[in-house]
Amino acid sequence: MAKDGPNWEGLLKWSLAHADGTQPPRNLSEEDRRWFMEAMQSQTVDVIKRMKEITLVMQTPEQVLEAQGVTPADIEDILDELQEHVESIDMANDLHSIGGLVPLLGYLKNSHANIRAKAAEVVATIVQNNPRSQQLVMEANGLEPLLSNFTSDPDVAVQTKALGALSSLIRHNKPGITAFRLANGYAALRDALGSDSVRFQRKALNLIHYLLRENNSDCNVVSELGFPRMMMHLASSEDAEVREAAFRGLLELARDKTEGANGSLGEEDEKLKQLLQERIKGISLMSPEDLAAAWEERQLVDSLWNTCYKEPSSLREKGLLVLPGEDALPPDVASKHFEPPLRAWAANPSAKSPSSEKKQTPLLLGSGPPPDAADGRNNSGEGEDANGQLNG
């Protein structure tokens, strides 16, 4: 790209000189056409070409890059740029074709934590809602370094980014879910719940919820691993999103129990009841602003109480489950401005003028009866059939 940016002023002057609206358009000379195309192309990025250049950098050994003055911050910058390019699904899939996927996965093992974290973020972008790239990453053994970084990296930011990439990789990807389970992924998620990082906890809870919804039989697995106790602890977190995610997981386990499983909450039931009572008390003490922000938590607490104890929570009788105005329909601000006038008139008969209420003499084709006979027919109570013909 041009270093000084687009010469917009020059392009504007050129455009005005050739199309000021006062004269019919004329054919461009070859020289003008060439100048215009060169001006536009100088501001256009060939994405594939640029991705190949980034791939070449990623393929170059680290010591060679250092000898050429390339710093870890420079690598982070090119990974940032690569992430922008692969936000397009087509470009994400093309990365493998040009040889860039494998060296990108290699950066997951880089000695610099920021590069490992950024590489995981790029992988997450590539595989998100992209079955083809999910398959390519699985075939390139990308799951292994992501799992390694998630479970054992000394930097919690790297762990968090790796977990985010894993979540995107295995969603709607049955082979990925199976591989995650076989690699003791649930045990790693349990360890993540014990982290001091709120972001790490949130990502772990969200993935747990997704996995339980995908495979209800896993409820027994997570119960045996002690997840209910950890979720109940996190349901008292100061972070609202952590609380909500913990309640979502507990609700899945409670529903599994009520459907006849062998108790997904087990002996934790009494502790859960105490927790819910404490949260109801905490919600009752919230300010109106905090109550409005805690809409999802209120619904989750009530649903969990109802699922476990077969009765509504006290949030209902206190009027805290649905606040005034929350169940109201949004105001109709569009119909009066966008509804066709004829349709609006038909929907509001009271707006019709008095003259329109007078009964009109039907229009008859051909020779009709004398006026006095026509008036008599109109007053006789006879109507029209479905085809618009007078009934005899």
Of 186, 235, 192, 190, the residue nearest 215 (C-alpha): 186
The Cα-based distances of 122 to 145, 179, 368 in angstroms read: 14, 21, 83
Q: From 142, 136, 70, select the one nearest 105 (Cα to Cα).
A: 142
> Average pLDDT, stretch 86-109?
97
Match 């790796």 to its residue by tokens: 162
* Residue whose structure tokens are 């010591």: 63
> Which range among 205-209, 217-221, 351-355, 362-366 has the greatest average pLDDT?
205-209
Q: What is the pLDDT of residues 6-36, one digit of tens each?
A: 565 665 665 656 565 666 666 767 877 776 6
220-233 exposure pattern, b = at least 16 Cβ within 10 A, e = fewer: ebbbeeebbbbbbe
> And the tokens for 129?
């809602």
Residue 120: C-alpha distances to residues 38, 150, 157, 170 (Å): 38, 10, 11, 14
| Dihedral Cα 149, 180, 141, 161, nearest 10 deg | -30
Stretch among 24-28, 142-146, 260-264, 269-273 having the lowest mean pLDDT = 260-264
Q: How far is CA 173 from CA 36, 111, 315, in A?
A: 48, 30, 39
What residue ranges define each of the domains in the chain, with the CATH number in brackets?
A: 45-183 (1.25.10.10)
Residue 183: pLDDT above 90? Answer: yes
Token look-up 């762990």 returns 159
pLDDT tens digit sequence for 129-155: 999 999 999 999 999 999 999 999 999
List pLDDT tens digits, range 309-349.
999 999 999 999 999 888 766 666 666 555 555 545 555 55
Q: So what's the pLDDT on residue 359?
A: 53
3-state secondary structure of 71: coil
SS3 content of the chain, % helix, strand, coil (to 5): 65, 0, 35
In 3D space, the residue among 199, 193, 142, 189 whose CA is nearest the CA of residue 169 turns out to be 142
